Amino acid sequence: MRRGGAAVHSAELSMGLMGLLTSLLALVSFGTAGDQHTPGGHVTAVLGDSVKFPGTVNCSLEKFELIRRLKDDRPLTVATLVGGDWEPEEEYRGRFQRSASDILLTRVNYNDDGVYEFTCGSDVVLHITLQVFIISNNNISESQGATVKLSCYSFTAGQPVKSVWWERNNKPVFKLNTSNGNITYGMGFDGRVSLASDWKPTGDFSLTLERVQPEDRGDYSCFVQKEKKERGIPAVTRLKVHPSQNTTSTPPTAPPPQDTEEVRLWKTSFIVTLILLILISAAVFRWWILSRRSDSSSGPPAAGPSTAVEMGLLNGSRGA
């Protein structure tokens, strides 16, 4: 009985494994069949670069379009084939080019990210997933007085944007209310910060900061209010500000050269000699002043008798 039960258990286990393998094969076959029915692919592009779509897809019907699926699955027409030429929609004009074998989408922006479909009539004949990568510098070092751009991106295609704002160290820098166009600035940023005018079709909310100052350094973040608040990409950008290289500064003064023993001896002798000359000059000048005074006091005697004898003689001569 034990051997029979083991055999039955082994047989059931084998049948279960076969059933699981059959199911997996069916799933793989279904996926392959789906791919053959609607071929697709995956392409990538760096922000600002160009991306190629295959241009050899054929359609015998009059309506042949390239559309993209928004995040809510709504279709958005990119271009329509008319008379053998692709005519892009207004949003894609100037960025849509056709070569011999490819369709080229130039200056890729963040809103270009998504699923694209070539439709022939009502049938999808090819779908392509485009993934847009962002290469940004999250650590920026700039000179005082320069202009700097702080990157921020958020997907806005087919999504209403209520407001967008920037913060530095969690304090307000700039805020745009898209419903009325009202702009408010944080303290010290009035007239120095701005957003690109094409933020709506491109999803580019990068902030331009002019005349950067040392007090502008810090961690910057941007936020976009859609149905809910979203943080932009990259999440944080750190700004460092260093003194401008054009700023003129007084070069350090070199210490005066040390005098040698011979120079010091010469200086001492000169000072002593100068003092002696001054003292001698002062003595000579004093002697000259005193001699002048002595000459003035020893002048010729006054006229007239100065003794008693002389007075008597003078009186006798007068009586005769």
| CA-closest candidate to residue 69, choices 154, 128, 133 | 128
Continuous segment of H or E residues that includes residue 318:
helix 308-319
Is 51 within 8 Å of 133 (Cβ atoms)? no
Does residue 252 lie within any of the structural domains?
no
Please state, in angstroms and rounded to a whole number, the distance separating the CA atoms of residues 171 and 275.
72
Tell me, rounded to whole angstroms, the distance of Cα 63 from its chain centroid. 47
* Residues 76, 126 share a domain: yes
Record the tokens describing residue 300, joined without a space: 């010729």
Does residue 193 lie within any of the structural domains?
yes
Continuous segment of H or E residues that includes residue 13:
helix 2-37
Give the model's pLDDT for residue 315.
55
* Residues 153, 120 share a domain: no
The residue among 196, 227, 242 that closes a domain is: 242
* Residues 199, 173 share a domain: yes
* Residues 121, 101 share a domain: yes
* Residues 105, 151 share a domain: no
| CA-closest candidate to residue 45, choices 154, 129, 131, 157 | 131
Is 96 within 8 Å of 86 (Cβ atoms)? yes
Strand blocks (E) in 57-143 = 64-69, 75-82, 85-88, 96-98, 102-105, 114-120, 123-133, 139-143
The residue among 103, 133, 163 that closes a domain is: 133
Upper half-sphere CA count for residue 192 (Cβ side, 13 Å)? 16
pLDDT per residue rounded down to tens, the chain (320 residues): 444 444 434 444 444 444 443 333 333 333 333 333 456 689 999 999 999 888 777 788 888 999 999 988 899 999 998 877 888 998 898 898 877 678 899 999 999 999 999 999 889 989 899 999 999 888 999 999 999 999 999 999 989 999 999 999 999 999 999 989 999 999 999 999 999 889 999 999 999 999 999 999 999 999 999 999 999 999 999 999 998 765 555 555 655 666 677 777 878 888 888 888 888 888 888 877 877 777 666 555 555 554 554 555 445 545 54
* Residues 143, 238 share a domain: yes
Give the model's pLDDT for residue 299.
55
Is 320 within 8 Å of 312 (Cβ atoms)? no
* Residues 147, 122 share a domain: no
Does residue 103 lie within any of the structural domains?
yes
Is 196 within 8 Å of 202 (Cβ atoms)? yes
Give the model's pLDDT for residue 250.
53
* Residues 175, 116 share a domain: no
Q: What is the pTM of this model?
A: 0.62
Task: Report the number of distinct structural domains present in the chain.
Answer: 2
* Residues 46, 100 share a domain: yes
Going by their DSSP bridges, the two strands 139-143 and 237-242 should be labelled as parallel
Does residue 220 lie within any of the structural domains?
yes
Record the tokens describing residue 28, joined without a space: 């793989």
Q: Which domain, by its residues, includes 222? A: 139-242
Beta bridge partners of 41: 128
| CA-closest candidate to residue 118, choices 74, 72, 55 | 55
Does residue 110 lie within any of the structural domains?
yes
Please state, in angstroms and rounded to a whole number, the distance separating the CA atoms of residues 132 and 117.
17
Domain CATH for 50:
2.60.40.10
- At residue 185, what is the residue type? Y
The residue among 79, 109, 133 that closes a domain is: 133
Does residue 262 lie within any of the structural domains?
no
Please state, in angstroms and rounded to a whole number, the distance separating the CA atoms of residues 110 and 131.
9
* Residues 80, 40 share a domain: yes
Please state, in angstroms and rounded to a whole number, the distance separating the CA atoms of residues 207 and 186.
13
Does residue 144 lie within any of the structural domains?
yes
Q: Classify residue 39 by its DSSP letter.
A: -
* Residues 143, 125 share a domain: no
* Residues 175, 124 share a domain: no
Does residue 25 lie within any of the structural domains?
no
